[in-house]
Structure formats: C-alpha cells, structure tokens
Structure 1
C-alpha cells in the first residue's frame, strides 16, 4: 500500500548504518600464482583495510586480522600498499605490505601456522616518517622495489622521495643502511615497472608546481651491475602532457596512457627512438587523474592484448588488440570499472559496479569475454525499488558551456507526494576538485532519495572524464566555475519544474566542502543550507602557512594562481573572508586527524561567525583523517546531515534527533 506523505518525510529501509556498512570498495587486485588477492574495507573494524585471498578452488579468506591495516600514506592519498611472492615448491606465498599505523613494510607468510607479520623496514625517527608505496618484486626475488617517502624536518614539505630496494630477509628492520637507494630522480615518483628482461625500469615523475594531471614525465633507467638505476632519461610526457600509467609490452617497448591530444589515450612507445604511436585514437579517456600511486587503468595480457578501462563520464572495460586496432567491451551489468586491473595467464581481474550494484571483484576470460563475480559480491537486503535510479544529464552553464551531472530523483515504492508538491534537492559537489562522480550504487545517496530528497551530483568544470579542455576550465577559476556550475544545475532543476526553489541545499567534502562553503557565501539565498565536510576554507592559510601536505601544497598555483601575484584572489575567493555573507544554516564535519584539510581551517570559520546568529553545528571525529572510514562516523554524519535538512526544509520527522544548532 502506498502512503501519501510530503517529500523528505518518507520512511525508508536504507538506514545510516546500512549505508555506512557498504562504505568503501575492494581495491588493488593482483594475481598471486593461481590465486587472486585484493584489499577490502572493514568499516565496522575502525575503517581498516585488510588483504583478502581467493584460492584456486574459489574459497576466500581474510589474510590479516585486526588491527593490521593495509594503507600507505605516501602523498597522503596513498597508493598500492602490497605485493606478493607466489607459492613455490616447499614454500607458501609471501605478502609484503604497508601497515597504516607506523607505515613500515611488513612480510607475512599466511600458510605458515602461527606466523605473524614481521617488519622489513626500520622504525622511523618520527611517527610515520618513513613511508612506502607501489612495491614490486625485484629481479631475482630477494628484494622489493618501491617508492620511499622520508621526512627530514618538521614541515609538511620537508621530505624526499626516492626509489629504493628493501631486502626481503628482514635485515633492514634494525639496519636502515640495508635499504638501498636505487634513484632519487624527481620530487614525485611512482613505483618502478621492471622490463621483462630485468635490465631496465620505468616510472613516472613530476615536479612542483605541476599536479600529475597537468604534466608528468615517463622516465626509464638501466639496471647497473651494482644494483642501482643509471642513465635516467625521459621517453614521453612533458609540462603539458600527463602520463598517468606505463607498462612494458616487451623489453624495448612501453604502453602508456597519456594525453598529448587532449584525451588520455594509449600509446606504444619505443624506448630506443622515443617514437610514440597512438593505438586507438579517440575522444575518450583511457586513463585518469593519478591521485594514488600505482593506479592501473589498463593491464597488458601475455599475448600483447590490453585490458583497458575507457569512456567519457562512465568507464567501460574492453580488450584492445593492437594488431588490428579492435576494442571489444566486456558485457554485463557493470557500468563503471575502477582503476585497478590485473592481467595474468590468460585472465583479467578487475573491480566494477553499476547503478544497482556495489563494487565487486570480477574475473574475465579475455577470449570470450565472459565475466564472473569472484569476490566481494554485491548483496542487497532492501527492495531494489528503494535504491536510487540515476539519470545522466547535461545542463547549460554560463556562456553556454556544458555541465555534466547525474540526477537522482526521490524514489520509494511505499510513498508518493501530495499532488503539486515539488521535492527538495541537494547538490552534491565531489572532492578533488580534479575528480568525478561515478554513476554507481551509492547508499549515501539512497539514504536521502528514499526519504524523498532528490540529489544532483555535478561534474562541474574541472572534473575528469571529459578531456583536458573540460578539466582545464578550473585553471585559475576555483571558487568560480565550480560554484557557477553547481548553481546552474540547481537552477535548471527549478526551471524544469523538478525541484522546489525554496528547498535547495548543497553538500560536499574536501574540495567539495570548499565549493559548498564558497556557494553559501557567493550566492546567498540560493541554498537553504549546506553540509560541509572536512573543507578548505582559507586559501592563504592552506597554501602559504603549512596547513596542508606536500602533494597539494602547490595545487593552488593552477587552481587559483601563483603567489604572491594572486594574493588578492586567494583572499577574495575564500569563504573565510566572506563569513559575513553566511546566513544559511550549515553543518561542519571534521576529522581531527586530518592533515590534508586540518581542523584549524574549520575553527577559523567558527571564530568568524561567533555571535552572528547563523545556525550551525560542528561535529568532530577523533581518529578520522581526510574522509570518514569508520562505520560509526559515517552513521553519525549522515544522520546529522538529514537532521540539518529536516530543520532547513521544515520536514517533520519523528525518527530523528534534532540537530543541536548554535548561533
């Protein structure tokens, strides 16, 4: 039986706890012998990530119990945190992983009864002062080669990155000199990719102020007799070309995802001549922004074919045959494939999701393209008719520019709204800002849509998935283009008669938190309220006063402008500067361990509005960093956000604890 009730007051089986339990996704898949391993989130176990193994017989097991947490802090966003030696005669597999708590590398032999992880790297002089990511087993199997990030001073940029070799016998655990430095090449580097003959290594490097989607270099070097890398040289990339991944095709040839033509396409690169040939030129993306070290958008099969994610706005998985230029997509219910792929012994392993299913580990036969879920299968405990049903939309922004978005109307089979009532809508601004919103099942969105609150997730100018020109719209315009594009989407929904103009809200985290706060101060009156998660609020302090980490410390050079020339722009764009314009109720949520957008940013805003009569609530989360991973944190945040909308939209909900709003 369908009940008539105002939008925003509907009852739903999708609880905040339900949404929190589905947080995160399997990641970092690799083949280990005849097994497949990957990392998996554990929201209920303090948000840790563990290592999961699928044996050849199809059974799965968790390899590392709590409190082991596979997560690297290199560039703070991390990267590939593990590698493994497959089993051999008389010895089981050996895992090598980065443990989040201390950032040391550990060795673990899961088939040895009673074995516990043993450290491979020395304890740092300062907490997490030595960090490792993107490890690979070195030629000969006695070392693991990886990126090392070492801090040498108190500031967030007092650090050095290099490629190092860590012995697998544990000798470096108490002897730091046993870690060999292979090369210190660029300020930022990815882990090495070793040629099939073991004679050369390739990696990606770049320097401040560039971000990895602005300009990078694909570098190679020779392996010298003393075990170091020598004669480093650039074979692709540059200041206006961003190589995001490279893999060896043979001893002399690399395949790279790079964008000299404005789109991340695949190129075959002759490392002797430097000749680069596009394998399948197209105005779509075969790569993405390198936010984490070691992401893989493609993988080379043993026969030379390439499994590759590709698309515009959404990512499909296909198998590319360079011999004839054909690209054949994998069929199935998945519409989004993550940047983690593996190809080994005639099989492909990937992670995929769709609008009605969460992230799953999928195995694919590259010959007949049959795909099977082999791990982390999606299970749903609610009627699928309660789940959000996204629609791809393109709105018109200022000057006629396109603004891409995903629209999620209210949806609940048990309720209908009174005749003539328009629903409230929340604009979701994604983080990054050089990122995007995938069109996959998101129960945080479903938490709102199933209660009668619509969502529009905006891929504002600057988002990825639409080519370099769309990405570059935000250059010098952060706080302008993103704010305008979000507003354009909201106003279009009103003009189309889909949204109530008196009940619009905006929310976002990180860079999305910035866009939320900037929108509330730049366009007073458009939004009734805003939910601001771990935001940037003061550009000058964030960039110039050491309030963020090294990776993004020069990000604003392109997003806003270089200092000191753009100092006025930093001040004028910051929501902190215009706190006097803030009149709408807002919710501010902050992880107290966040080193990317630290609590000091939020606290200065609260100081500015103190006593001004602006209703607000500030929730802090001890133990959480940049992005909430613990189930209880996500639950608290979602329930508080709904309580904010209930207050601002005058929704009567007896199932909510009213938000404690201060003024």
Structure 2
C-alpha cells in the first residue's frame, strides 16, 4: 500500500525487536537529517538529536528502551551516545572510556549486550558493552574491517573485510577467540549479512559470488558454510532474515530496477514480493512480520511503504517539502528512455531523459554515478528534473564497473581504472550524437565522488568530447588522495588497481586526472568539503591551482561538510551556484523558473 509520507534519508526506520511499537529513523528537522523516536502505537515522533551538520546513524536496543546515536564530526570521527526512549533530550556517552573514532558497525544481542566497531588508521576494534554497563575491548583487526553482527545469545560476533580477500569474513567468540574464517577471492566474493533471530545454534547469513552469479549461503559452527545453489541470481543481491529464522527477504538490483523475493531455505522456494516497478533502496522484515521497504521511481522521491501500509507520523520541525504528505509538486514534463549501446565490452545500458516539448538535438548533461560499484537506476533524482527543465537532455550511463548487470560487468576494468568507464561514456555519447538526440559540441559531465573523478579524468583524456565539467567531491590526484584517505578507501583503491601506489605507480598515474591537466580545455567547477576523508580536498585544491596556471576557466566551491552533506540548505546553495556556472559557460542551459528549492530540499538518494 502506498503512503504519501516520504523519508528524508533513504533508509528504513529501526524497529525494536521485542517492542515493535517503538522505532527510530532519520527525519527532517528544519532541513537537516536528524534522529527521531517514533512511538508507532501512538503515531507520534519526537526529535532526538539536534546538531549543526545533522545526524544519520542510530540504533535501538531490542527492548525499545535505549536509543543509541553517533555523535561525529565532519570527518566521521565521533562517539556513541545513549538516551532513554522516553527522555530523548538527555543523552550520555555510551562508551566513556573509548577514544573517538569512525563508525564501523553496531549490533545487539537479545539481552541488550551491545557490540560496537570503531576504526582508525590502525584498523578496527570491537568493543562490547554488557547490560550492567561494563565496556571492554574484544577484537582488533588491522586494516579495513567492520563489525557485521552479534548473535542473539551474545556468544558470537562476526567481522567483515574486503569481500575479495582471505578472510573476507571472520567469526569470533564474544571474548575475541577466532572460531572460523571464510575466504573470498576476486571472482568469488563473500559478504556476511547477519545472524538469524532467535536461533540456537547461531546461524549466519552470507551472500557469495559464484560462477558469475550470486546466491545465499549460511554458516554454523557445526556445518561450516552451506551454499544454497538452487537459489541463484544473475545480478547482485542482499538479504535479511524473517523473524522465524528460516525465510529470507532477498533484494536484487537488476537492470536499473529492484526485485524483492521471499526465499524459504527449508522448502527451497522463491516467491516474488509484489512491489511497483522502480527501485527499492532499503528493505527489511520487521519483528511483527511486516515487509517494509523504501521505494522510488524516476518521478517519485523515496517513500516508506510496507505490505501492511505503514505510515510515518507527523513530527514537529519538519518541512512538507522534505517529508510531508504534500511534498513534491508535479514533476517536470519529460520523456524517459532506456537504451543499450554497442560498446567495447558489450551492450552499454543508459537512461536518457528528454524535454517533452523539444525536438531535434539538444545540449546534454551526462550525470556520472559514483561508487564505483553503484549504478544509475529508475529512482528519483532531482538533478534530472532540474536539468531537463533547462532544456538539456540528461544521460545516465551504467558503464562497466556498475552493479545491477552481473559480476562480469561489475568487475570489468580491463582498459584500466577509470579508462574503461570513459570508453563506455564516449560510446554512448557517440551513439546519441549519431542518432540526432544530443548536440555534438554541447555535451557536459556532472559527477559526485567517484563520478566527479571520472568527470575530471574525461576532461583531460577526452578533451575533444566534453565542453564543461562539474566535479563535486572528486578525486583529482589518485596518489595524493590515497595517502590522505581512510583505511576503507585505501582498501578499495588496492582492490581496483591491484596494489598500492608504491607497488603499481604506473597504473595510478595512468588513471589519475592530474596526469592530464595540461590537456583540459573545458570550464570546470570543483566543489570540495573541508571534512571530506574519502575524497580529501587538498589534492583538488592543488588541481585547481594547476588549472589557474594554465588559464582554464574554473570555479572552486568550498563547503563546511563531510563527504556526504545532510543539510538541505547547503545542497540548495551548491545547486544554485552550479546552475549559474553552467549558464555562463554552457550554451543551451536556460533559466526557466526551475523549482530548485523544492527539488533540492530533499537530500536523498
């Protein structure tokens, strides 16, 4: 059943396992993401956090009595705090003896015993807080790792690492003794998802990559890993348990959309859960058995839906533009197409949005997705609406490296990191120009994070193709960014390049935008955030100085934010700046009263 209320942040509320009438979720508080406590029985919500940069990480103990929330700075370093569900205005430090660090997971046993993962440059440490408030260190893992779960009995905890490494998953006792290690590999990745509720002995859910497909697996101490090969999927999946500990809710990303399945491991059955066409950004089975999910499509902002018709409450401090039932005026009138374009690695999927009232070739903006293992999907993106209303075609390419199209496509970086993706972007551009859809001399790139990196790389590697670049929180110098980044980001870089910059320097240089800065001719807007530890601002500032020395038109926007910005007003100001830059430097972009404030008041997706 559909409801008019929407989520300000595209993640499901967290529902108390033993008190399903209590939940916490990320809501809108004066244009910021903040944590709200939701009494589902009373249909009311109260604001829990109130921080200048917003708050997006929270948990709720199984009894529904204690709210946990993460009090971090712009760089993601912080501490967990707790408050009583009935008195959310009074919070205390949850782990008073533990130094601030980055969030790396939180999990709770049935009795409220809580495991917390915290990471720093030295690795990841798991701390355990028992019901009487005692806190102790249990596990330390060097390098990149994260806490996955604590079993309901509080006896086992599981830690995940890079899915392609050995071990990818490690199971420990609550005292820190290693019980089992599950290895992954470049073509046999393994992800741990969590323990089954209320099951003894503990049963861990996994997803494994196998022969180009994906399938669920389970682990127990007695049986080890059991693969459920009868339930194979051709594209990426994630999954969670039903409360009975026997069935799974599987979410499959497939060809820009999402499918949900109920999988019965004992009966060996797989049944489609009926959802509208579009994308499901999050899904779970709540303790009362309701299947809840965050749904969106190209014209509908993310909203909470469920089989039983759950509805978010009204709450003080929120804006109807961001989360109320009347949010979202009628979308801009535009045509949407899905195409497949011949490419060097096979057919390249792309989503194309076109102004409905204009014929002939149009200026085009290629919105370059990040990740790298994300994908453009049938989901609401306010930028599409904004840019189409200015007269531009909008193109979103699911180039090689994108998820949703199978392991072979996702893992293809055969021409080099970034360079493979540029081949596909160029192929789609050439096809649309040949078909008379876009103008040859008026195509622009716009990307955030890894999409911003591809934007800068394309401007230097393919200067004859692109007439403007918008790069928000990009990587401009891969070596410098590697040195300044977090262990998680460095682990991803090592996976992509096959080593560190010291081990494979030529690969990093060949794929780094700064290598090609002498060839950049198009105007460039660069947006950096002071607290960004994933794409550090220093190398981008240096890249901007190199552009200035070469007299390349450019503008640098500096924001007080982390890699992600949860302040709607900050988003609005950035979009206004970007559109003014485009109007100055990119012929064809027109100011036609685009509802920027309305569209950008929802920092979701």
| 2:347 equivalent to 1:406 | no
Q: What is the rounded CA distance, in whole Å, between the counterparts of 1:654 and 1:286 in structure 2?
A: 40
1:305: Cα distance to partner? 1.8
Of 115, 128, 131, which residue of structure 2 is paired with 1:145? 115
| 2:492 equivalent to 1:555 | yes
1:628: Cα distance to partner? 3.1
Aligned-partner SS, 1:301: coil
Post-superposition Cα deviations, 1:97-133, rounded to whole Å, max 9, x if no partner, equal 2222462221211324x851121222766xxx33444
1:655: Cα distance to partner? 6.8
Q: State the partner residue of 2:86.
A: 111
Aligned length, in residue pairs: 571
Q: State the partner residue of 2:541.
A: 603
Q: What is the rounded CA distance, in whole Å, between the counterparts of 2:8 and 2:527 in structure 1?
A: 17
Conserved? CA contact 1:107–1:119, under 8 Å? yes
Q: Give structure 2 stretches of 5+ with no counterpart.
A: 1-5, 314-322, 595-605
Conserved? CA contact 2:62–2:110, under 8 Å? no
Q: State the partner residue of 2:262.
A: 319
Of 124, 137, 142, which residue of structure 2 is paired with 1:181? 137
Change (3 A) 1:341 1:476: farther
Change (3 A) 1:131 1:520: closer
Change (3 A) 1:475 1:561: farther
Q: State the partner residue of 2:403.
A: 464
TM-score (ref. length: structure 2): 0.85
Conserved? CA contact 1:351–1:360, under 8 Å? yes
Conserved? CA contact 1:533–1:588, under 8 Å? yes
Conserved? CA contact 2:237–2:251, under 8 Å? yes
1:512: Cα distance to partner? 0.7
Q: What is the rounded CA distance, in whole Å, between the counterparts of 1:588 and 1:478 in structure 2?
A: 21
Conserved? CA contact 2:368–2:396, under 8 Å? yes
Change (3 A) 1:607 1:332: same
Q: State the partner residue of 1:55.
A: 40
Q: State the partner residue of 1:393.
A: 339
Q: State the partner residue of 1:439.
A: 378
Aligned-partner SS, 1:461: coil
Conserved? CA contact 1:22–1:443, under 8 Å? no
Q: State the partner residue of 1:241.
A: 188
1:644: Cα distance to partner? 3.1
Change (3 A) 1:476 1:51: farther
Q: Give structure 1 stretches of 5+ with no counterpart.
A: 1-20, 73-79, 88-92, 152-156, 172-177, 289-296, 366-370, 658-663
Q: State the partner residue of 2:420.
A: 481
Q: State the partner residue of 1:328.
A: 271
Of 165, 170, 174, which residue of structure 2 is paired with 1:219? 170
1:480: Cα distance to partner? 0.7
Of 254, 258, 267, which residue of structure 1 is paired with 2:204? 254
Change (3 A) 1:398 1:137: closer
Post-superposition Cα deviations, 1:183-217, rounded to whole Å, max 9, x if no partner, equal 22464443353444x264242332xxxx4466653
Change (3 A) 1:387 1:337: farther
Conserved? CA contact 1:392–1:405, under 8 Å? yes
Q: State the partner residue of 2:124.
A: 161
Change (3 A) 1:458 1:49: farther
Aligned-partner SS, 1:346: coil
Q: State the partner residue of 1:204.
A: 159
Q: State the partner residue of 1:12.
A: none
Structure with more strand by fraction: 2
1:270: Cα distance to partner? 4.2
Aligned-partner SS, 2:507: helix
TM-score (ref. length: structure 1): 0.78
1:600: Cα distance to partner? 1.2
| 2:441 equivalent to 1:491 | no
Of 224, 247, 250, which residue of structure 2 is paired with 1:308? 250
Q: State the partner residue of 2:306.
A: 363
Post-superposition Cα deviations, 1:208-263, rounded to whole Å, max 9, x if no partner, equal xxx4466653332345xxxx142421256456532223333433433322213333
Conserved? CA contact 1:286–1:308, under 8 Å? no
